[in-house]
Structure 1
């Protein structure tokens, strides 16, 4: 994959992965070139009652730390150690490798000013050049992206589901770069990726296709719907890929690139296969291509290392096929844009619930310790 020009990142982080040396091994053998986290990943790690989290929560609570301060300490520990493990990859890389991501609290996604303030706080807390602060690509997140890029904060824009949403994200990145150039500020330490969520779209669209098939008047109509299952996510990703190439590898970005600006790399996220009827590496093999990143959950990474085989650039040669698929979906009454808007709302909500559940675990464990004292 790396020879093809695509970086593989791991979509997981926990203390056990770090302490055991497993993450260091994956990095050293060239299986992983970056790491992403999100509130659900942190919730699963901290609430799992394993590794060193219970001991650390108790230690920090004994010091009088609040639940919010305890989470900061735990996140800082895991993120900073991961950043340090990736430091050599970052130094050797082309500006696309060696990063770890930490997300702003999802509850802030509807507040531009609060998102900017929290992203700056996390940037200063971790103090690593290979950190990405994750900002959701919500309507309120778009101006935050511009502001943070202008201020020199490297950003991973997350929860992107559609071409119009992606286009707005790319434009915000360019505006931030332009503001830095106008202010005479350096660009050499500034990086960004745009995380396009993939498999969730198939899950959502497939349900509608099956509902429409069940209500179809005849077998031919049913088959028309059912043959489109599993096609929407990749077709949509290729639509975004086409826009990405236009935004950053042509005349639009040329003047900024000539002044030292880097492209905002496209990152394929949510690439674990959710439907067992599909290949367990469907969204890895079908989205292989240059100038891109694929962040994978551990199960998908292991599956790819076991039986995956990159077969060249699967992106540019399939743009026409993807376009036909999108037309077929539209003819079948499927609106990718409507699904994308709902998935954005659902994604923000799911991450917010995970964050709240994680904080509840920290509060409960802190309170239990205080009760025993």
Structure 2
């Protein structure tokens, strides 16, 4: 037992924000499950671009596929490789899923980032990937964009687990939480079961501080009259934002609307803290784990940050501590004109663009590996 295992006692699951064929084949994921109590895995286009676009680990599988499907599109070739990895990770986590009765043990696979503003396309892609992977412990990642939100409701309605990604604002989080509920309610209205449908809402953290801190630094450097107040909230806005999102979650699951679904076996949509690697070297490398520990939450952690927490993280129920202090931080951010809403809107757009660029690079790397060079 260690620090990562101890998080389970506080109600928080630890997921790995990484997937790679060599890592899976060499038993790296199984080791984390066995030794650290890991209960999930997330992927995204950036992770797959690093895994598939560099090195030779995927060349043999790609060559085999190309021999059998010489006319396959680059997208089909990518999906074949990604699905193999996701299936392998899901199979490793299946005992966790079974032991916990479907409450955890999930692997996430993202719909194409090109569909971030296409509701119908997202719904269709989610259903396609769900069928291709064919594992009950799969979650389909759908962005919490205005177009993605109705797709989330429809995908839950279809009985498909969903990991909502690219959430930065509390309002966007509320919208997707209600979309999850709407999907469950539609199933209940048809008399269909809801007790094995799971969802998480991936709320991004460190990127907010990066943006806000840069704005604070610029104003302090320029001699802003509010320099002292600005410096007082530096490095605190993202955590405060996350704490108030969780406070809303606690209020909502106590509501009559949610309790009616819970009575039929519904599982709450857990908040998942994403982008939890510390970007600022002046901050502790475990900052976004130490400060966001709470019941019915998930922290999806990059390998380097996981190693750091295992070594020197602090385990305490911090998520519900000093919520009024968090309210004060956000009130100060608003008073000081730091425009958190503008920042979170920009981060969604940047996130979609970043994943699209990674997908471009990924497909380009796969396209470059022609059958004759892969053999």
TM-score of the superposed pair, with normalisation by structure 1 = 0.95
Counterpart CA distance in 2 for 1:37 and 1:3 is: 26
SS of 1:334 mapped into structure 2: coil
Shift of 1:224: 2.5
| Structure 1 stretch displaced more, 192-201 or 57-66 | 57-66
Shift of 1:367: 6.7
Answer yes or no: is 1:257 the counterpart of 2:262.
yes
Segments of 5+ residues of structure 2 without an aligned counterpart are 1-6
Match of 2:158 among 151, 158, 167: 151
Residue in structure 2 matched with residue 23 of structure 1 by the alignment: 29
SS of 2:52 mapped into structure 1: helix
Residue in structure 2 matched with residue 328 of structure 1 by the alignment: 332
Residue in structure 2 matched with residue 32 of structure 1 by the alignment: 38
Counterpart CA distance in 2 for 1:126 and 1:249 is: 35
Answer yes or no: is 1:223 the counterpart of 2:217.
no
Shift of 1:57: 2.2
CA contact (8 A) 1:61 1:369 kept: no
Residues 271-310 of structure 1: matches in 2 within 5 Å? 271-310=276-315
Residues 83-98 of structure 1: matches in 2 within 5 Å? 83-93=90-100, 95-98=102-105
Residue in structure 1 matched with residue 119 of structure 2 by the alignment: 112
SS of 1:29 mapped into structure 2: helix
Shift of 1:316: 1.5
SS of 1:252 mapped into structure 2: helix
TM-score of the superposed pair, with normalisation by structure 2 = 0.95
Match of 1:351 among 346, 349, 355: 355
Shift of 1:76: 1.0
Shift of 1:329: 1.1
CA contact (8 A) 1:9 1:33 kept: yes
> Matched residue pairs, number?
367
Shift of 1:179: 0.4
Counterpart CA distance in 2 for 1:330 and 1:94 is: 43
| Structure 1 stretch displaced more, 348-357 or 66-75 | 66-75
Match of 1:56 among 29, 54, 61: 61
SS of 1:175 mapped into structure 2: helix
Shift of 1:244: 1.2
* CA separation of 1:96 and 1:277: change in aligned 2, threshold 3 A: farther
Shift of 1:132: 0.2
Shift of 1:110: 0.4
Answer yes or no: is 1:363 the counterpart of 2:367.
yes
Alpha-carbon RMSD: 1.5
Residues 55-204 of structure 1: matches in 2 within 5 Å? 55-63=60-68, 64=70, 65-93=72-100, 95-204=102-211
Counterpart CA distance in 1 for 2:124 and 2:96 is: 29
Counterpart CA distance in 2 for 1:270 and 1:113 is: 28
CA-to-aligned-CA distance 1:91-142 (integer Å, 9 cap, x gap): 1115432000000000001000000000000000011110000000000001
SS of 1:153 mapped into structure 2: coil
Segments of 5+ residues of structure 1 without an aligned counterpart are none
Shift of 1:326: 0.7
| Structure 1 stretch displaced more, 54-63 or 26-35 | 54-63
Residue in structure 2 matched with residue 46 of structure 1 by the alignment: 52
Counterpart CA distance in 2 for 1:94 and 1:298 is: 27
